[in-house]
Amino acid sequence: MIDVQNLSKRYGGFTAVDDISFRVEPGRIVGFLGPNGAGKTTTMRVLTCFLPPSRGTVKIAGFDVLETPMEVKRRVGYLPETPPLYPDMAVEGYLRFVGEIKEVPKAELEDRVERAMKRCAVLDVRGKLIAKLSKGYRQRVGLAQALLHDPEVLILDEPTSGLDPKQILETRDLIRELAGEHTIILSTHILPEVEQTCEEVVIINKGKVVATDSVENLRNRLRGGEAALVEIGFGGQTPTADTVRAVLAGAHGASNVVLREQRGGRLLFEVESAPNANLRPALAATIVGNGWELYEMKSLAYSLEEVFLQVTRGDSAETDEALLEAPAEDLDAGAEGDNTEPEVQA
Ligand SMILES: Nc1ncnc2c1ncn2[C@@H]1O[C@H](COP(=O)(O)OP(=O)(O)OP(=O)(O)O)[C@@H](O)[C@H]1O
Ligand SMILES: [Mg+2]
């Protein structure tokens, strides 16, 4: 549905987006993750025909952004970083106005406006001036304008930025609901956003794609081994923690064992595995084999934060190993662009 091949975008002599490629399949929801200045907004502007690419091709539903921009715009709804709202207009009037700009057929306009307001839960403020809306409601109106012409693709630039925690959850729910019917790319520099909302992630840093994968695979791929937390009880005499630790360390695939807690007669250990080992079954067999009681075992997922720091650490993006070994650097190295002017998509 979205096909980006070798896209570069230069501002004068500065390369903001440098030879990036990725694809998004229909109905998927993809997180475009990167620190400030990574090139997220620039890429989204090219995808939505607001900026021409300097090099490479971008196709939406098979239509090229340079050759057939009207076909692309018909299929794309865009929520820019700053929603393109007119404060002096009332919500419903504004959405009708956007519908006219987007050339929604007159006979369908009322129905489309009504549906978009319902979808984005702004029916209760339909008569209110946009200037008087809370930030969360403005964001919903922004989403409603992006949805108005029922586009196949939604491009949402930091859709939850500046919202309060409740509004963030509501907006994420709404985006997830939209995902089945639409193909969605949303940008964010907030990791839990990607983990909670998206199926796939494209990580971008300093204009380059440093990783693209499913959220789950990426976590697994970069962490190598896994870690598990086990809670063990002992029916009769309790052995020393050191004894238990040594036995667990002998389980196939275990590489590091740390005592986390002593709870009554029970011991809690965190066990790390070597890469590609199938740790948990071996651990369970060892515990039960020693006549101990296994109260709990759970896999400790590495946070996407760790992954993100790993892949955005250096300039080299050739291999995961290179990334892991690259020297640490300031994540906010890129300057913020002056790109907050409101826009209305025609
Ligand atoms: N109109 C412009 N003219 C010149 N440079 C620009 C322009 N817009 C953006 N840039 C630069 O391009 C780079 C990428 O900016 P972009 O806005 O795409 O990043 P971003 O990933 O969206 O960042 P943020 O998380 O801060 O929104 C930055 O270094 C920025 O300063
Ligand atoms: Mg941006």
Report DSSP letters for 251-289, one per residue. STTEEEEEEEEEETTEEEEEEEE-TT--HHHHHHHHHHH
Position 307 scores a pLDDT of 66
The residue whose CA is least distant from atom 12 of ligand 1 is: 16
Provide the residue ranges of all domains of the chain, joining segments of one domain with +.
Answer: 2-221, 225-300
Cα 304 to the center of its chain, rounded Å: 10
Position 329 scores a pLDDT of 35
pLDDT digits (tens, 9 = 90+) for 266-311: 999 999 887 777 889 999 999 999 999 999 998 876 555 666 666 6
Q: What is each CA distance from 115 to 37, 73, 96, 111, 150, in whole angstroms?
A: 35, 20, 12, 6, 10
Helices (H) and strands (E) in the chain, counts: 12, 14
Q: Give distance in angstroms: CA of 217 to centre of ligand 1.
A: 29
Position 233 scores a pLDDT of 95
Would you write out the chain's pLDDT as a tens digit for each of its 346 residues?
Answer: 999 999 999 999 999 999 999 999 999 999 999 888 999 999 999 999 999 999 999 999 999 999 999 999 999 999 999 888 999 999 999 999 999 999 899 999 999 999 999 988 899 999 999 999 998 899 899 999 999 999 999 999 999 887 888 888 888 888 998 888 899 999 988 777 888 889 999 999 899 998 888 887 776 655 566 788 999 999 878 899 999 999 999 999 898 899 999 988 899 999 988 777 788 999 999 999 999 999 999 887 655 566 666 666 654 433 333 333 333 333 333 333 444 444 444 4
CA gap 323, 311 in Å, rounded? 6
Pocket lining: 8 vs ligand 1, CB cutoff 6 Å: no
Q: Give distance in angstroms: CA of 81 to centre of ligand 2.
A: 7
Q: Which ligand is nearest to the CA of 34?
A: 1
273, β-bridge pairs: 254
Q: Which long-range contacts (CB under 8 A, 24 or more apart) does 99-107 make?
A: 99/148, 99/149, 101/344, 101/345, 101/346, 102/73, 102/148, 102/149, 102/345, 102/346, 103/149, 104/148, 104/149
Q: Give distance in angstroms: CA of 155 to centre of ligand 1.
A: 17
- Domain formed by 2-221, architecture: 3-Layer(aba) Sandwich (3.40)
299, β-bridge pairs: 228
Position 323 scores a pLDDT of 34
Q: Give distance in angstroms: CA of 273 to centre of ligand 1.
A: 41
Residues 6+ apart with CB under 8 A from 169: none
Pocket lining: 334 vs ligand 1, CB cutoff 6 Å: yes
The residue whose CA is least distant from atom 24 of ligand 1 is: 36
| Best residue for ligand 1 mutational test, from 336, 340, 341, 343 (most atoms within 8 Å of Cβ) | 336
Written out in words, the top-level CATH class of the domain with range 225-300 is alpha beta
Position 212 scores a pLDDT of 87
Position 306 scores a pLDDT of 65
Position 163 scores a pLDDT of 83
Q: Give distance in angstroms: CA of 46 to centre of ligand 2.
A: 13
Pairing of strands 254-263, 266-273: antiparallel
The closest-lying atom of ligand 1 relative to the alpha carbon of residue 17 is 14
- DSSP E strands in 141-199: the ranges are 153-157, 183-188
Q: Residue 155's closest CA among 8, 4, 45, 50?
A: 45
The closest-lying atom of ligand 1 relative to the alpha carbon of residue 42 is 18
Pocket lining: 202 vs ligand 1, CB cutoff 6 Å: no
CA gap 265, 234 in Å, rounded? 7
Position 71 scores a pLDDT of 94
Helix (H) or strand (E) holding 299: strand 293-300
